[in-house]
Amino acid sequence: MNLPHIDFSVITPELIVIATALVVMLAEFVGAHATPSPTRSHRIALIALLGLVLAALAAVAGLGRAATDIQGMLVADDLGRYLELVVLLAAALGLLLAWDYLPQFTKMHSEYYALYLLAVVGMMFMGKSTELITLFVSLEILSVALYVLTGFHRGQLAAGEAALKYFLLGAFSSAFFIYGAALLYGDTGSTHLVDIAARASGGFLTLAGLALLLVGFGFKLAVVPFHMWTPDVYQGAPTPVTAFMSVGTKAAAFVALFRVLQAAGVSYATWSLVLALLATLTMTWGNLAALRQSSLKRMLAYSSIAHAGYMLIGVTAGMQLGLSAVLFYLFAYAFMNIGAFAVVSLLERPGYHATQDATIDAARGLFARKPLLAVVMAIFLLSLAGVPPLAGFFGKLYLFNAAVQSGWIWLAIVGMINSVVSAYYYLRVTVLMFMTEADETSFLRSPLSNATGLAIAVAMVGTLLLGIFAGPWLQQLGQAALAFAGS
Amino acid sequence: MIPTDYVLILAAVLFTIGAAGVLVRRNALIIFMCVEMMLNSVNLTLVALADLWGNLTGQVFAFVVMAVAAVEVAVGLAIIMAIVRHKDTSNIDEINLLKG
């Protein structure tokens, strides 16, 4: 029997994370006292964090060396490496948030971190897949792990409800996704994106297959009109999970979307108009709905829908111009969004019902109570709104610039109007923090733990540095994008 | 032999019935069964197409879909159970804490 030769260097970071997940799962049983305790939880979290850091080092080491293997099912190009870095960054920050958040409501630490790492693996594989079956399986790995993580707070009905909604709609969207994949296979006789690009007929089967795939992607990216689950799930899930999945899932799905569109076998003109309309709808709906939210988490959920809309502008702009802008935005979004969620996690009353906690009022008078924290939160919110010279501003600038250069001037204008609208709800929280007195509605979990503090500090430094070194970093990402667009 | 077109049309009809069921029915379990029906109609499509193209990719894909469906059943039923313990209902209209 001939075993196929496999070049494992293509998937080194993934292998490291998988191994860590297994170690974490077994770590529960090591030691004389198998009783769960905070120290034990921290030990497990530390192992998981080490695994993530090692995987990130492996990903960095692989930069500049593109390779395809596992029967041409996975590619480790620079685009994939950068995607791994975004996902690992989001995962590490989310893990630091869970450090002290998790012991508040559960004793099942091993399970949490193992599932968490498996979701990370799914995302990393998804961004590197060059074949529809691999793409589908990695999408399911990340989805199934996230369904469970969403409902991890079993004592809360809201968490269960969020998990149920996420699960039903996620499975529903997966069905569309594989139907699309099946039709593309019917059109070309292959599930490899390379073959699909070469053989697609461009007829009914190609178009229908691509449209159904787009529906599947739309659900995962929370694109209007496939966004219904997003606010409920983001609100009901534990905050560290929300922070992680709002960035990680988007990053993986956007990169996979680029790969599929490049191989679509359909002309740019056909799909770019559809994406432009989806982007317009998504931005506008997300921002308008965020305006009238009273829960901080729900507001950030709608804001994340709007941000998916901004990034769709970059996809509309195409491979050459849009991809590097989207990649840049993903890095910026990872820092500023997880930073904002980190502060929100401190404003939540432990044990409270998920539908009541972390209202916007909880931020009242934060500046008087914790000046530094209020300033940091304001910086995250301003960056999300797109105020210079923060990371979010340059992210939007590059996206809109890509749109203008590729001829989508109206789309860039819609994006700018939307940024202005979004400033209203970000600033509303800022005003509450700085200009009102603390009263009985305001709350802050104290004392600020080292892990959460570290996560906030890293997010803060990232938001500032990406703003300062925006140009060189974009150039770096642009090379990866060019290599991909030319391939 | 049955023409491939017939099988594909049958699968498309099954997929549509499943999708309509997801949108119309109100019981979480029935919705989930409708999703399973959609997945299986895709399996039918894949197998028919594999026969048409004369390669095994479609059949392998169908097996992968079955495995994933099994995983979803395990997780999905656990989630539904967790809710029923809290609220003693699987009607999604009554599970409505989160809205706005």
Does pLDDT of A72 surpass 70? yes
* A140·B58 Cβ contact <8 A: no
B95 within some domain: no
Cα(A240)–Cα(A102) distance, integer angstroms: 9
Band (A284; pLDDT cuts 50, 70, 90): very high
List residues of chain A with CB under 8 Å from any CB of chain B. Answer: 132-133, 136-137, 140, 144, 147-148, 151, 154, 157-158, 160-165, 167-168, 171-172, 174-175, 178-179, 181-183, 185-186, 189-191, 231-232, 235-236, 292-295, 298, 354-355
**Which pLDDT value is given to residue A36?**
61
Contact B57 A190 (CB under 8 A): yes
What pLDDT does A381 receive? 96
pLDDT given at position A352: 53
Phi, psi of A352 (to 5 degrees): -75, 165
The answer to whether position A94 is within a domain reads: no
Question: Is there a contact between A293 and A302 (Cβ–Cβ < 8 Å)?
Answer: yes
pLDDT at B71 over 70: yes
In this complex, the residue of A132, A191, A355 whose CB is nearest that of residue B98 is A355
- Return the pLDDT at A249: 95
Residue A258 lies in a domain: no
**Domain presence at residue A56:** no
Residues in chain B with CB shorter than 8 Å from the CB of A183 are 45
The nearest alpha carbon in chain B to A290 belongs to: B100
Residue A441: band (very low, low, confident or very high) from pLDDT cuts 50, 70, 90? confident
Query: What is the pLDDT, as a whole number, of residue B29?
Result: 93
Angle between helices A78-101 and A450-468 (to 10 degrees): 150
Percent of chain A with pLDDT over 90: 66
Q: Is A439 helix (H, G, I), strand (E, B) or coil?
A: coil
Domain assignment of residue A150, yes or no: no
Question: What share of chain A in percent tops pLDDT 70?
Answer: 96
By CB neighbour count within 10 A (0-12 exposed, 13-18 middle, 19+ buried), where does B45 fall?
A: buried
B44 touches chain A (CB under 8 A): no
What are A382-423's pLDDT values in tens digits? 999 999 889 999 999 999 999 999 999 999 999 999 999 999
B67 is a domain residue? yes
Determine the structural domain holding residue B11 and report its residue range.
4-87
Chain A residues lying within 8 Å of B53, measured CB to CB: 185-186, 189
Residue type, B7: V
| CA distance linking residue A75 with residue A113, whole number of Å | 27
pLDDT score recorded for residue B99: 76
Quick check: is B97 in a domain?
no
Smallest CA–CA separation between A168 and chain B, in Å?
Answer: 7
Q: What is the pLDDT of residues A36-61, one digit of tens each?
A: 667 788 889 999 999 999 999 999 99
Average pLDDT over residues B20-26: 93
What's residue A349's pLDDT?
Answer: 76
Q: What CATH number should be reported for the domain holding residue B31? A: 1.10.287.3510
Q: Are residues B53 and A178, on separate chains, in Cβ contact within 8 Å?
A: no
Residue-wise pLDDT for A311-368, tens only, equals 999 999 988 789 999 999 999 999 999 999 999 988 887 665 555 567 888 888 889 8
pLDDT at A108 over 90: no
Average pLDDT over residues A234-249: 94
**A/B interface, count of CB pairs below 8 Å:** 131
**A177 occurs within a structural domain:** no
- Is pLDDT at A454 greater than 90 in this prediction? yes
Residue B94 domain-assigned?
A: no
Across the interface, whether the CB atoms of B64 and A157 are under 8 A apart is answered: no
- pLDDT tens figures, A165-218: 999 999 999 999 999 999 999 999 999 998 998 888 888 889 999 999 999 999
Q: Is B40 near chain A, with CB under 8 Å?
A: no
Q: Which of the two residues, A235 and B94, has the higher pLDDT score?
A: A235
pLDDT in tens, A167-181: 999 999 999 999 999
Question: In a mutagenesis test of the B interface, which of A185, A188, A299 is the best target, namely the one with the most B β-carbons within 10 Å?
Answer: A185
Residue range(s) defining the domain that contains residue A305: 269-487
Q: Cβ contacts (< 8 Å) between A151 and chain B: which residues?
A: 79, 82
Q: Average of pLDDT values for A274-293?
A: 94
Domain annotation covers residue B100: no
Would you say residue B8 lies in a domain? yes
Q: Are A426 and A370 in contact (CB under 8 A)?
A: no
Number of domains comprising chain A: 1
pLDDT at A157: 86
Minimum-distance CB partner of A172 among B35, B60, B96: B35
Q: Cβ contact (<8 Å) for B38 and A175?
A: yes
How far is it, in rounded angstroms, from Cα A352 to Cα A181? 43
User: Is A135:B63 a contact under the CB 8 Å cutoff?
Assistant: no
In a domain, B60, yes or no: yes
The residue in chain A having the minimum alpha-carbon distance to the alpha carbon of residue B37 is A175
Q: Does the distance separating the beta carbons of A182 and B86 come in below 8 Å?
A: no
Give the chain B residue whose CA is nearest to the CA of A191: B57
Position B92 in a domain:
no
> Residue A298 is nearest to which of B72, B76, B100, comparing CB atoms?
B100
Q: How many domains does chain B have?
A: 1
Cα(A270)–Cα(A256) distance, integer angstroms: 19
Specify if A17 maps to a domain: no
Domain for residue A349, yes or no?
Answer: yes
CB spacing of A231 vs B98 below 8 angstroms: yes
Which of B29, B59, B68, B93 to mutate to test binding with chain A, by most A CBs within 10 Å of its CB?
A: B68
Geometric angle at alpha carbon A92, from A91 and A94, rounded to 5°: 65
Residue A22 has pLDDT above 90, yes or no: yes
Look at residue A284 and tell me if it is in a domain.
yes
